[in-house]
Structure 1
Amino acid sequence: MFETYRLGHLGTFSQSGIDKKSKDDEIPVKIVNYMDVYGNKKGVLHGEEFQEVTAPKGKFPYHLLSKGDVLITPSSETSDDIGHSAVVLEDMAQTAYSYHLVRFRPFQATKIIPEFSRFAFQARQVRAHLEKMSKGTTRKILTRKDFTTIPFMLPDLATQRQIADFLDRESARIDLLIEKKQRLVALLGEQRAAAISSAVTVGLDEDAELVTTSSQYLPRVPATWRVWRLKHLAEIRGGLTLGRQILDDVETTLTPYMRVANVQAGWLDLSDVAEIPVTEVEKLRYRLKLGDVLMNEGGDNDKLGRGAVWKSEIETCVHQNHVFAVRPHDTRYSDWISLATNARYARDFFYLHSNQSTNLASISKTNLARFPVAFPPMDEMRATLDALWQRVVKLDQISEKTDASIERLKEYRAALITAAVTGQIDVSTYAKSGTPDRRLDAIQEEMGA
C-alpha cells in the first residue's frame, strides 16, 4: 500500500553555506561538492575521498552528514538537468556538504530506508516536478520551498526493502550493459582516430617506401608525398568579434554564425546555430565559402584546432573570432586538411603550440600557420579518401547504433525505477515473470547492438 506525501511533511531541507575555502580559525572538515552528486552515476555516497576544507564552528555541527541524508543539486543550466541526487548510506565522519547543494533529512518518525530513497528521488514524477518548479534565465534554480512540494509515494518498510533490493539488482544489470557498450563506443572512437591518423601520415600502402622529413611531427612519410605548412596551402582567416561596438546609424542584419560548439572533430553540429547582428561590410569579410576548413582557435585541449569542412549547409553564415576559417587555395584539398587536423600528431602540435590557462587553451594564427600537412599525389589522395570514408562510415554506423542502444537502456532504467517506486509493478512477481530479461533482449534486438 502506497501513500502520497509532500516531501516537506517527511523531512527538512537545509543548505550549509560552507564553501571550498580554508581558514586558520575554523574547523577542518570534508565536504561533498556539487559534482560529487551531479556526476554520481549510482546515486549513493559512502566512503569516498572528499575535498578537505574548513567550516565555521557555528555551522559545522548542523551540517554533518548522517545515514539517510539525501543531497540534491538545486541548480543547472537547463530545467531538465536539475535535481540530481545521491543518498548517504552510512554515517560519514567529519563530512558536510557545500553550499551548492541542498540536503534532505527525514524526520526520525519518517519510516523511509536510505536504499529506497536512492531510487525514489530518481522517479520521473519527482524529476518532472523539479523541472516544472525551476526558475531563472541564464541558470535554472530551485529554492528549498520548491523541494518541500515534491509529491513522494511511500510504501511500508518491508515493501521499501523489497523494491530497493529489486532495483539494486536490475539497475546493476542495466548499468553493466551500458558500461560495456560505452567501452565499445570508446574503442570504435580509437579505431576511427587510428585509421585517420594512419591515412594522413603514411597512407594505406603498407609496403610504401618511407623517407625522412625535417618535420618532428611527420618524421617519415611515403617517398612520393610532400610536407607543406598550412600557410603555403591556404589563407587563414580570423573571425568576427562578439560584443564589438556598432554605430547606431549602421544597418545590420541578423546572421547565423559558427562558434566553437558547432565545430566538432571532422563534422559540424548545426543543431543549435546562434545568430548575430552583422553589417554588410562584415558579412562580405567573414562570410564562409564552400570548402573552408573551420578550426577552433580556443577551448578545452580536446577542442583546440579540430577542424571540419564547410559544405555551405547555410546559405549565408559567418564565423566568430574563436573559429578560424582556413580557405585552401585549392578546395580539392579541403577534406584532407580537415582530416589532418584531427590526426593524433595534430593533437600534439596544437597542444605544444598553444597558450595554456587554467581551464582553456588557445592557438594563434601565426602558430596555426606552421601546422604541417603531408600530401600524396592527387590520384592517391582521392583513393585514400574513398577507402578511408568507407572505413569511417562503417565505424560511425556501429557507434551510432550502440549510442542509440545506450539511450534506450537509460530510458528503460528510468521507467523501471519509476514503475517500482510508485507501485505500478509488483516487484515480488515482476522478476520471476521474466519480463526484465525480455525487455533487455528486445532493446538489444531492436537496436541491432
Structure 2
Amino acid sequence: MAGEKTLSGKYMAYPEYKNSGIECLGMLPSHWVVQSLSIATKRISVGLATSVTGYYRDKGVPIIRNMNIKEGYFDGSDMLYLDEKFAAANSGKVVYKGDVIAVHTGSNLGLACIVPEEFDDCHTFTTLIVTTSEGLLNKYLTYCINSAYGKAEVHRLKFGFGKDNLNVKEFKCFYTLLPEYSEQEKIAYFLDHETDKIDTLIEKQQQLIKLLKEKRQAVISHAVTKGLNPRGPMRDSGIEWLGEVPEGWVVSKIKYVAELTPKKSHVENARTNKCSFIPMEKLKTDILVLDEVRIVGEVIDGYTYFENEDVLMAKVTPCFENKNMVVARGLENGIGFGSSEIYVLRANSKILNDYLYYRLQEDIFMEIATASMSGAGGLKRVPSDIINNFIFALPPKKEQAAIYQYIRSYTSKCDDLINKAEYAVTLMQERRTALISAAVTGKIDVRSWQAPKSSAQGTIND
C-alpha cells in the first residue's frame, strides 16, 4: 500500500507504514504516534452532573446539553440558561472557546464538536470536556473522534447496562493518532474543504427530495378533493372548510362508507388457522412487511384483526403523521392481526378501498386528525370519532377508480425519483465517512494536497 494511490485511486498513500499496535486499525504512517487522551490533552473533565432544573433562568449563563452537540459542529439553538450565582459557584466545571465537547451518555455517545467563541466560559450538562495541548489541534481531534475509528474506540471504552456511558476515566484511554501539528492542520483543512463540497451536494439532493415529497402530497390532496378535470363544473359543498367540489360528488362521512375496527366474531371458528402478524414497525406508507405468521387463537385476544383489502392506518404519533397506512394484501389465509395501535377501515360498496387509502392522506384530514390527538407524551392517538365523523366529498366509483389510478401512476414515478435521490445521499454520506476515516488514520497522504483554485461544487470526482 505504501506510496500507492488509494480511496478510488485519487489520493496517494504514505511512503512508509508501521504496525500501530491497535488491532482494529492495523498499519499507521511510520512517523505518526499513538497516544492516549490523558497524555495528549491538558484537561479531560465532565460538566455539571447534578440536577440543575431548579437553577434554569430566562437569562443568565448558557448551559450546553448533549442535544447541542452535532457531528463536527455546535448547534446553538434551543439554549437554556443558568442562574449566574449558581454558575459562579461551579466555576470549575466551565468550558472555554476551542474546547472539544463530547456526548457522555445515550444514543449519540462520543459525538464531538468544538465550543464556539460565543459560548466561552459557559457550562455544560454531563458532557465530556477536552482541552487540547499545544501538540494537538482541536479540529483534528474532533474529526478523529467522529470518524469510524473514533466510534470504534468509543465502543471499546463504553460501559453501562441499558444505557451506554463514557466516563472521564475511560475517555482518557481513547487512543489518538498523532501526526505532526502542521500535518494535523493540513488534514483538518483538507477535510473541511472536501466535506463542505460533499455537504453541499447532499443539501441539494435533500432539497430535491423535499420538493418531490411536497409535490407528491399536493397531487394527492388536489386529486381527492377537486378531481382530475380542471375545467369540470363545480358546486358549493355547503361545508365552509370544504369549499367547492365537483358536480356529482356527494358530501358524506367516513362512517357511512367504511366500518372502523371490524368485529372479530366471524374468525372465531378459525382459531387453529395461520394468519399474518403485523407489529407497528412493519406498517409503513404503502408497505406491509409480511414476514411473521401466528396461529389465530394465539393473537385473537389483545390484537387488532383485519383481512385482505382492509385499509390499515397507524393511530399513534408519530406513525400517523408519517402516513403509515396501507391496503392489506397477501395475508396468510387472508387474515391478519397486529398492533392495537392500528386502525382498520373496511370499505363498503360506496367506496373503493384504494381510493379511501389515498383520501386518508389528504392535507385537511391529516391536519384535523393530528390536531385532535390526545394522550400522554409520545403516545398521543387519533380519536376514533374524528375518523368516523370526518366530512368529505365522495366521487362516483368510476371516477374514484380513475383518481386512484392517476395518483398511483404519479406517485410511483415520484417515489422512484425520491428513492434515487435518497440513494445518492447515502452514497455521498458513505463517501464522506470513508474520506474522514482515511485521512485521520493515515490511509491517505494529503500533505501535498492543494485546494483547487476554482472549486466546482457540482460533482465529486472519485
RMSD (CA atoms): 3.7
- Cα distance change on mapping 1:70 and 1:284 into 2, 3 Å: closer
Q: Please tell me the residue identity of whatever aligns with 1:257.
A: I
Q: Please tell me the residue identity of whatever aligns with 2:73.
A: V
For 1:380 and 1:346, the matched residues in 2 are separated by 20
Matched, 1:311 2:332: no
Matched, 1:407 2:431: no
1:82 alignment partner, one of 89, 106, 109: 109
Which residue does the alignment assign to 1:341?
A: 360
Matched, 1:386 2:419: no
SS at match of 2:63: strand
Query: What does 1:269-288 correspond to in 2, within 5 Å?
Result: 270=289, 279-280=297-298, 282=300, 286-288=304-306
For 1:34 and 1:306, the matched residues in 2 are separated by 30
For 2:172 and 2:295, the matched residues in 1 are separated by 44
SS at match of 2:435: helix
Q: Is the Cα–Cα contact under 8 Å of residues 277 and 293 in structure 2 kept in the other structure?
A: yes
Q: Deviations over 1:126-146 (max 9, x none)?
A: 112223444556433334333
1:214 alignment partner, one of 225, 238, 254: 238
TM-score by length of 2: 0.79
Matched, 1:328 2:347: yes
SS at match of 1:197: helix
Which residue does the alignment assign to 2:92?
A: 62
Q: Is the Cα–Cα contact under 8 Å of residues 119 and 417 in structure 1 kept in the other structure?
A: yes
Matched, 1:298 2:316: yes
Q: Is the Cα–Cα contact under 8 Å of residues 234 and 329 in structure 1 kept in the other structure?
A: yes
Which residue does the alignment assign to 2:445?
A: 426
Q: Is the Cα–Cα contact under 8 Å of residues 306 and 341 in structure 1 kept in the other structure?
A: no
Instruction: Give 1:306 deviation, angstroms.
Output: 5.4
- Cα distance change on mapping 1:150 and 1:385 into 2, 3 Å: same
For 1:423 and 1:45, the matched residues in 2 are separated by 26
SS at match of 2:259: strand
Instruction: Give 1:226 deviation, angstroms.
Output: 1.9
- Cα distance change on mapping 1:89 and 1:360 into 2, 3 Å: same
Mean Cα displacement is larger for which, 335-344 or 295-304? 295-304
- Cα distance change on mapping 1:121 and 1:321 into 2, 3 Å: same
Instruction: Give 1:202 deviation, angstroms.
Output: 0.8
Instruction: Give 1:342 deviation, angstroms.
Output: 1.1
- Cα distance change on mapping 1:378 and 1:193 into 2, 3 Å: same
Query: What does 1:24-173 correspond to in 2, within 5 Å?
Result: 28-37=60-69, 40-41=70-71, 43-45=72-74, 50-54=79-83, 56=86, 60-77=90-107, 81-90=108-117, 92-99=119-126, 101-106=127-132, 108=133, 110-135=134-159, 138-173=162-197
Mean Cα displacement is larger for which, 283-292 or 206-215? 283-292
Matched, 1:174 2:192: no
For 1:392 and 1:129, the matched residues in 2 are separated by 44
For 1:15 and 1:278, the matched residues in 2 are separated by 54
- Cα distance change on mapping 1:47 and 1:297 into 2, 3 Å: closer
Which structure would you say has the larger Rg? 2
Instruction: Give 1:353 deviation, angstroms.
Output: 3.2
For 2:288 and 2:122, the matched residues in 1 are separated by 42
For 1:309 and 1:328, the matched residues in 2 are separated by 11
Q: Is the Cα–Cα contact under 8 Å of residues 46 and 89 in structure 1 kept in the other structure?
A: no
For 2:76 and 2:397, the matched residues in 1 are separated by 60
SS at match of 1:394: helix
Unaligned 5+ runs, structure 1: 241-250, 444-449
For 1:203 and 1:430, the matched residues in 2 are separated by 59
For 1:116 and 1:219, the matched residues in 2 are separated by 59
TM-score by length of 1: 0.81
Matched, 1:366 2:389: no
Instruction: Give 1:364 deviation, angstroms.
Output: 1.5
SS at match of 2:287: coil
Q: Please tell me the residue identity of whatever aligns with 1:197.
A: S
Which residue does the alignment assign to 2:37?
A: 7
Which residue does the alignment assign to 1:236?
A: 260
Q: Deviations over 1:14-66 (max 9, x none)?
A: 242154513399x94211111111xx25x233876731124846862122111
1:375 alignment partner, one of 394, 403, 423: 394
Unaligned 5+ runs, structure 2: 1-30, 265-271
Q: Please tell me the residue identity of whatever aligns with 1:112.
A: L
For 2:156 and 2:275, the matched residues in 1 are separated by 32
For 1:227 and 1:258, the matched residues in 2 are separated by 35
Matched, 1:199 2:236: no
Identity, % of aligned pairs?
21
For 2:337 and 2:163, the matched residues in 1 are separated by 28
- Cα distance change on mapping 1:314 and 1:267 into 2, 3 Å: farther
- Cα distance change on mapping 1:302 and 1:293 into 2, 3 Å: closer
Instruction: Give 1:93 deviation, angstroms.
Output: 3.7
1:184 alignment partner, one of 208, 217, 223: 208
Which residue does the alignment assign to 2:54?
A: 22
Mean Cα displacement is larger for which, 82-91 or 119-128? 82-91
